[in-house]
A and B are shown apart, each in its own frame.
Chain A
């Protein structure tokens, strides 16, 4: 198992390096100039000296290879530098946003798992009954409905119903407070985006659970377990579900990593000051340093999540750790 873990960890290095090269080159193909944007995008003009000075300060006058080396050196030494847009340390800019994105990702994942596994299991066990049809309709709706749109509907519903019931419209808070400072305030803000994204996420996972379980339920060893006279509950939980969960774990892992940086529109809808919003703003502002760091962070999260998924695979199915 240890060899397996080390092998998986080492495989992350070329992935991270490839991503670093790609993002470095891609950012420099976008037309525009951070200095001009920062100093004159409001419609004014800026003299060449000031532009040159700005570029010098940001290191943009250096040759490309030097800029790349600075970037890689920063990654290796964990010196992530400063945002080119705000000139503040990247770590400071990200700290609060990371907390928020992580909390939303965890809450959405919990919502999804709590919905997906029971629903997917029931739908598979009760295949082609009204329960199955209901679950399938529920999941198709979840996949078809963009979470940002669902988010807007949630906010509007809250506004309209609160006005109807209490006489004054109420909407979820629009600024983040960490959960340990004010749990009620925090949850009253984050529960809604977690539900909106968790629903879509659960729809994917429910369908995956259902189809994987249906496949496993047709396996010989399940038939054998039933032939031995085991309780149906035991057959499903111990023999079928555990094996059916392998693809579900993959989906959950990938979605979790996606939620950490990909909730761009949903974050806008709920005014979540998360990593997705920061990502878009950094690209629009041509903040190379921030964008590169965020991409590398998301790549690292994906790589780490995949690593955890692989470990889970090995735990769920011991054959994997022996054969790889």
Chain B
């Protein structure tokens, strides 16, 4: 049985297709040649994909590397369409869903000419899942279901899981899992922090500190006929205004993170048919985290009141005109088979269709808790899109029930220092993930067990539900448990509340073809299928 036909994948594919989230393939025949210039808002701290968590690494560095499997570049949000990059075909799960055997292609060479074998794949995933002392692996936890990785021969890699898990394949397809050369890692386990040498569609050319990274076409690339581009140039440009002007003035063809609606409208007005806009729901959300260790946020009534005050259905329409947020949703990526439907959402606190009734209940709860004159400070990141805009909106929503809130927006460093120390009332935290993988993505709501959840709550019940959900294969069962989990997090205990899901808008020059938007700014950036039609 192929993976495509597995019980994990088929229902997901059908549901995603029904939701209209898949994109049609580009009908034109790709042309070869040209250098794609794009702007990147930030520069990565290192070149090591296994260590970093930022999109600033993916955009300029992913084109240099191959990965084991990846989302289909032409249909990147379809969970049934993961495809092999360095393997020959997607494996069928064996041993009751606990063993996955990948056959590695024999025709792949690293850019230094050495062959890529299963030993390299093994060394890569050993480093990611079982890092040695001193090596940091950012996604180790997401692959915690893996018991062992072995390479029985030169073209086979076997993953054995502790238990069957629907989260495994999406987690394996994370775009940060660059295949590194075992020889390089053996010589220096940290060699890849400062150097680039992969087997991807482009060969590293130039890095100018703070300015740009360029790549040239790798003629030995294993996907025959690709890449179409002669090269690419990733230009670092910090300010959004400049990135927009760069696209307008054709100094760059695109920016792959996402721009706000106003910038899209400006570009469309200025460039007309020369600009193409792709849009998608974004696998990112802002989470309101009340500090459970601080009064009165240890009281579920107060936390429920705060979420009941927020008019998500009304706010979605207004906010989506000025900020990169749009869709109302629960803890699971909207329209995913595991996500709550509108009817299910409307049963939970904060999603009631009648906002007057909701706010009346919020006031009643505050009164009952003796907090009619509640005042607090909202800790937020000093980043416009969408943090401070959503923060300002939330403050207005809370004002409607008589709660007075001051926003304290700080740079990333001091913001996280504050969250880690617990010195805050309520924080606006975020959760951005790459491949949509709700079973893994929702671990953020596990409380202290999540490691990166700053609400400072502990819930054995949530931990048990999450573990159970991750160990069963049936999507229907997963969905039932997910609803229980979500109800506790957002409604009964109101440990967290969700504002709106982000919305990704990519206006790019119309001559850039072959690139499809996805639900994440982390995926689909190898650029092997992108071409220029000038």
Contact = CB atoms under 8 A, between A and B. Distances in A.
A42 B52 contact: yes
Given A32-B416, A43-B53, A175-B211, A271 B237 contact: yes
Interface string B430-441: 111000000000
A210 B453 CA distance: 62
Interface centre among B139, B141, B210 (most CB of A within 10 A): B210
B461 interface: no
B195 to A, nearest CB: 11
Interface in B211-241: 211-212, 233, 235-239, 241
Nearest to B410: A31
B412 A273 contact: no
A38 B270 CA distance: 38
Interface residues of A, number: 56
Given A43-B452, A93-B210, A268-B239, A86 B46 contact: yes
Contacts of A158: 249
Given A88-B209, A286-B413, A269 B249 contact: no
Contacts of A156: 245
Contacts of A37: 412-413, 416
Interface residues of B, number: 53
Interface of A: 30-34, 36-47, 49-50, 53-54, 85-88, 92-93, 95-97, 152, 155-156, 158-159, 163, 168-176, 268-271, 273, 277-278, 281, 284-286
A42 B54 contact: yes
A287 to B, nearest CB: 9
Of B52, B139, B141, B413, chain A has the most CB atoms within 10 Å of the CB of B413
Given A32-B413, A49-B133, A173 B251 contact: yes
Nearest to A152: B241
B187 interface: no
28 contacts: A31-B417, A40-B138, A41-B54, A41-B413, A44-B53, A86-B45, A86-B209, A87-B46, A93-B209, A96-B208, A96-B211, A155-B249, A163-B270, A170-B249, A171-B245, A171-B249, A171-B250, A171-B251, A175-B211, A269-B241, A271-B235, A271-B239, A273-B208, A277-B238, A278-B210, A281-B210, A284-B411, A285-B45
A171 B246 contact: yes
A8 B452 CA distance: 54
Nearest to B53: A42
B138 A44 contact: yes
Contacts, number: 152
Contact of B414 (A30, A40, A269): A30
Nearest to A50: B136
B413 A40 contact: no
Interface in B233-278: 233, 235-239, 241-242, 245-246, 248-252, 270-271
Q: Which of B51, B209, B429 has the most CB of A within 10 A?
A: B209
A53 B134 contact: yes
B24 to A, nearest CB: 30
Contact of A169 (B236, B250, B413): B250
A278 B236 CA distance: 12
B210 A40 contact: no
Contact of B238 (A43, A86, A93, A268): A268
Contact of A284 (B133, B134, B412): B412
B192 to A, nearest CB: 12
